[in-house]
A = this chain, B = another copy of it.
Amino acid sequence: MKRTTIVDVGRLAGVSAKTVSRVLNGEPHVSADVQQRVRAAADTLDYHPNVFAQALVRRKSNMIGLVYENPSPSYVVELQRGVLERLTNERYRLVVIPIRSVQENASEVVGLLRSAALDGVVLAPPASDHPLILKQLHEARIFCARIAPTRMIDAAPSNLVDDVAAAREIAAYVIGLGHRDIAIIRGDATHPSSEARMLGYTQAFHQAGLELKFDRIEPGLFTFDSGLAAARHILARPDRPTAILSQNDDMAVGAMMAAREFGLSIPGDLSVVGFDDSEVSRITWPRLTTVRQPVFEMAVAATEMVIAQLEDRAPIARILHPHTLMIRESAATPRA
């Protein structure tokens, strides 16, 4: 009825509990003979260490958190896949911490993290940009690594992408195709990358001598539905643009659907491009031209950063991850 403990194993193997502990933790100074006996005993008793007792005495939980506010599902999926990838065959476990709005209750969030007793956390945007969270995490001695922060880059290990340049490049690409009247669907304005991408678009416009009109910018929330709604708004106007730049892929796919509703062919009547290169961008027809952010790789790297800190290895301060323009079929030269 009772759990089998390290003491039971010791009794069966004829050694003290401490020796069992030594064997099981691979400490030196245990004779080969005893090692064998202990392992055999542990095996026959089907012994599993009590992780809480370990955590209590070692002051380490072997749990890592993934903190995200709910942007697009595809983004979160990639993120989580990356973290889990790095955690495979490690002793760390992943605890998922979805939060509502970092803005509103940052302090509460840290309370949550602390009471979860995590060793470290991977912070997705926009939590990765929040000063208070960073500060309190530090005070609570919880290691962290950040995904795509835009501010205070050196406050904690960071995985960066050049949102501005990426946005500039894809906008320049669309302009280069010959589009002159281009609308934009923004993401959630509370996400800092939204600002950065906006800036990149603007730069491309200016370099091409184009003007970015305010009434061509439609707000969105990084979700399919918000993209659909925004695009409907854009396309309902008599002077509709020939191209739409969407700040992420989910919204771009929404825009494609809106175009279909208006009987417009893509890319014939309307070019649409996204941002992220998430899963959905490859399964639509036509496939979505977008700019790839290596979310999966960033998540792997962020997890590595957390582990490195936990295991006292040389910390990695920051990595700049490359972006790639993914030219597919959803954007083309506008019809004359």
Contacts and interface: CB of A to CB of B under 8 A. Distances in A.
Interface of A: 48-53, 55-56, 61, 63, 73, 76-77, 80, 84, 93-98, 111, 114-117, 224, 253-254, 256-257, 260, 279-280, 282-285
Contacts of A49: 115
Most buried by B among A77, A96, A279, A283: A283
A-side interface mostly:
helix
Contacts of A76: 77
Contacts of A253: 283
A96 B80 CA distance: 10
A51 B117 contact: yes
Contact of A56 (B50, B77, B111, B283): B50
Contact of A257 (B50, B111, B117, B285): B285
A50 B283 contact: no
Nearest to A254: B283
Given A48-B111, A283-B224, A285-B256, A96 B94 contact: yes
Nearest to A73: B77
Contacts of A111: 48
Contacts of A51: 115-117
A65 to B, nearest CB: 9
List the 7 shortest-distance A-B pairs measured between CB atoms, nearest first.
A52-B55, A52-B56, A52-B52, A260-B285, A51-B117, A94-B96, A48-B115
A105 to B, nearest CB: 13
A116 B55 CA distance: 12
B95 A94 contact: yes
13 contacts: A50-B117, A51-B115, A51-B116, A52-B56, A53-B56, A77-B77, A80-B96, A84-B98, A93-B95, A224-B282, A257-B283, A280-B283, A283-B284
